Amino acid sequence: MADLAAFLRIDQWPPVPDLFFWASLTLIAGALLGEAVFRQFGLPRIVGYSAAGMALAATGFGLEGARLDGIARVVVDLALALLLFELGSRVNLRWLRANPMLPWTSAAESLASFGAIAVVLHWLGFEIHVALACAALTASTSGAVVGRVASELNTAGQVTERMIVLAALNTLYAVLALKLTIGWLHMDQRGDWVQGVSQPLYTFAGSVLLAIVLSRAVGWVMRRLELRDENAVLLLLGLVLIAVTGARLLGLSTLLVPLLAGVMLRNASQRPCIWPRHFGTAGGVLVLMLFVVSGSAWSVATVAAGAVAALALLAARALAKALVLVATARAGGIDTRQGLALGLALTPLSATSLVLLSELQATHPQVSSQIAPVVLAAVAVMALVGPIAVQWGLRLTGEYRPGRRSAARGQQ
């Protein structure tokens, strides 16, 4: 065979698959699994995408050392940027002003989740600064999961809109909490109060400025081009991607920039933004790979090490969210059942926590090494449970009805 391969000018025999081959195979597997769970079980497709990533991790090909770097970090940053930009473009700040109870509910829910996680982890034996760092990484809801499931199920209503707004605010709180935690660690462990104060301020101010530039650039495109046109979609995609690249180069938040840009763009006009689905096929591929990567961010050893603390964390987190949202439901204009459904829909935990964990690893590797098993075990559990929880929450209020959706597809 070697002689035949040489005659046919095959450079290497036996052939060894490269990274591109395995990435393509993973893409195919994720797409097939996503379609299978959607058609056979009526579940969101991202459950299948995450299952493909979990299969990779189970065979030892997951994220090495739980570190987001190289091509994996690029995929995660770009896909999250698209989803968070789209999520932000659905946040109407005028509604927050008209319903002041909503931002108060958001703040109370986030603080309760943060406090519950920190208390439980400290009770389990983690040092207080480690427990606080872990709470900063895991208290928030995954805006990527919430936005993707709501978009796929095509839901609308009071719970859906509140879920979108609260998830967007959760992402803002998560970045703020992590930067403040990192600043506190700088001052507490290194005595460097200058860096502890200046670094969070730089991150937020710089992210806001870059978000303003991105929102104005996208607004300029929207006013001059038809968004259904393929060239306009590519231009929008390019603008978002170059903004995220700039954020990475400048040390800004790759989560805040697209989210704030979407919010600014949505509220600069009375007219809501209607985006092409995931900014075209290229964006859809990135979204698929995002959930494959986040689903692969674990190993048997890390899950075994952090499973108990992760389950306790998730239970405390879910209970805190549910209690606050049920308690404030009627004051916010919804009934108790809708409040319970909203609490269920806000339980997802995904790639946002992985990005925050990678930022903590870059500045405080000793602290991150202690909480990494807990965070990764929690993300592994919620990779499959989170999207289903969103679906059940929306179904509980009648905003998602499988039969109605199937009938609509049949009429198309």
Start-to-end C-alpha separation, the chain: 53
Token couple for 109: 């829910």
Token couple for 203: 């991150």
The answer to whether the Cα torsion of 382, 392, 98, 267 is positive or negative is: positive
d(CA 46, CA 43): 8
The answer to whether the Cα torsion of 53, 59, 62, 65 is positive or negative is: positive
Residues of the chain whose pLDDT is less than 50?
A: 65, 405-412
Q: pLDDT tens digits, residue range 223-238?
A: 887 766 677 778 888 8
Q: pLDDT tens digits, residue range 243-277?
A: 999 999 998 999 999 999 999 988 887 665 555 55
CB contact set of 249 (below 8 Å; sequence gap of 6+): none
d(CA 366, CA 369): 5
Q: pLDDT tens digits, residue range 289-324?
A: 889 988 888 888 888 889 999 999 999 999 999 999
CB contact set of 287 (below 8 Å; sequence gap of 6+): 79, 82, 83, 148, 278
pTM (2 decimals)?
0.87
Q: pLDDT tens digits, residue range 82-97?
A: 889 988 888 888 888 8
